[in-house]
Structure 1
Amino acid sequence: MDDTFPLEESSLSRRQLLNFLTGATVAVTIGSALYPVNQFFVPPKEDIGVEGGIIATDILGNPIPASQILTEPPGTRALVAGLAGEPTYLVVKDDQTLDPIGLVDNCTHLGCTFPWNPVDQQFQCPCHGSLYAPDGMVIRGPAPLPLKIVHVTVMDNGSILISPWTEADPRTGKEPWWV
């Protein structure tokens, strides 16, 4: 009687095993290298709230409470990060409330950002000299269009909701150019 067991041929050869391990190693290496590249080129999703609005934040992404802006004197223009991270001016009115219309800080000529000049009571683009009235209408070009506006709402919890303006522009009575 034969006490040896018959050797069964393996279904996976040594060459196939090494090819599989090499391929898996290459796939993991390439996948781990492409992940940060993908994260760089794909923008993060915004936390979109009511009617496509977002909460106003500072430059670091921290929410700004309305109480912080309302401590400023009337006529102050506070710059916050608004829709799609665009810098947006919020205006403190005489009755210590926020104006329901915010102005996006992008020149309609070439997209420059610009400061509010409290002495001249106008927005002044330093790049090419465009001037805007306090409501965002063009005083002097080369800017061809008024500033984009957004809705500003103070929520019950004190945060500031900024949402897109899609109805007629109250300054011109026409369809907004940015819609």
Structure 2
Amino acid sequence: MDNSLPLESPSLSRRQLLNFITGAAVAATAGAALYPAGKFFIPRAETGAGGAILAKDVLGNPIPASQILGELPLTRALVAGLAGEPTYLIVKEDGTLDSIGIVDNCTHLGCTFPWNPMDQQFQCPCHGSRYAPDGTVVRGPAPLPLKIVQVVAIDNSILISPWTENDPRTGEKPWWV
């Protein structure tokens, strides 16, 4: 009777080990070379805490806070806000930015509209909806107040973030959340 143990083949041959080491070295080298190229071609996310983005102009360039704050008090400056939506930023009487921005998108059919400084209203030219300076409906057919966003000026940058708290105009949960 033979009491010897049978010899089993090793689980990883020498050739498989060398192929694994070579593949790992090639992958590490390629990853190290492609990482800077990827960082160059993929644009930086310009978002802050809570989904905040930088206010931009029509061409997509960030707008410095000093440019908006250089306007006259009670001026409404139109910028590209969240998802590129046109958003009015308001310069308060003390020369600072209001913490509330008003999205330029009619709640009736989604038209964009101008601020009329003579009447102190947002006036939709399509169907005649009128909005107060804070975005509440003055005259229909618009059924809801305008969407608002949070605005913060930090280090000459203007950050715009979604409004998630209760709507200060109605005291209720915002309709757009």
TM-score (normalizing by structure 1): 0.73
> Paired residues, what number?
135
Separation in 1 of the partners of 2:59 and 2:44? 16
Separation in 2 of the partners of 1:146 and 1:52? 23
Once the two structures are superposed, the pairs formed by residues 27-42 of structure 1 within 5 Å of their partners are none
**1:172 aligned to which of 160, 170, 173:** 170
Q: Percent identity among equivalent residues? A: 77
Secondary structure, counterpart of 1:51 in structure 2: helix
Hey, what does 1:89 align to over in structure 2?
88
Q: CA deviation at 1:47?
A: 3.0
Consecutive unaligned residues of structure 2, counting only runs of 5 or more, are 1-42
Separation in 2 of the partners of 1:134 and 1:60? 27
Once the two structures are superposed, the pairs formed by residues 16-35 of structure 1 within 5 Å of their partners are none
Hey, what does 2:56 align to over in structure 1?
57
Separation in 2 of the partners of 1:48 and 1:110? 29
Separation in 2 of the partners of 1:152 and 1:128? 29
Separation in 1 of the partners of 2:165 and 2:95? 26
Matched, 1:143 2:142: yes
For residues 43-102 of structure 1, give each alpha carbon's deviation from its aligned partner in whole angstroms, at most 9, with x where no partner exists. Answer: x99632211010000010100011001111111000000000000000000000000000
Please say if residues 46 and 84 of structure 1, whose CA atoms lie closer than 8 Å, have aligned partners that are also in contact: no
Please say if residues 83 and 162 of structure 1, whose CA atoms lie closer than 8 Å, have aligned partners that are also in contact: yes
Hey, what does 1:99 align to over in structure 2?
98
Separation in 2 of the partners of 1:45 and 1:126? 38
Hey, what does 1:71 align to over in structure 2?
70
Hey, what does 1:159 align to over in structure 2?
157
Separation in 1 of the partners of 2:92 and 2:165? 23
Secondary structure, counterpart of 2:83 in structure 1: helix
Consecutive unaligned residues of structure 1, counting only runs of 5 or more, are 1-43
Hey, what does 1:40 align to over in structure 2?
none
TM-score (normalizing by structure 2): 0.74
CA RMSD of aligned residues (A): 1.3
**Which AA in structure 1 matches 2:86?**
P
Separation in 2 of the partners of 1:45 and 1:130? 39
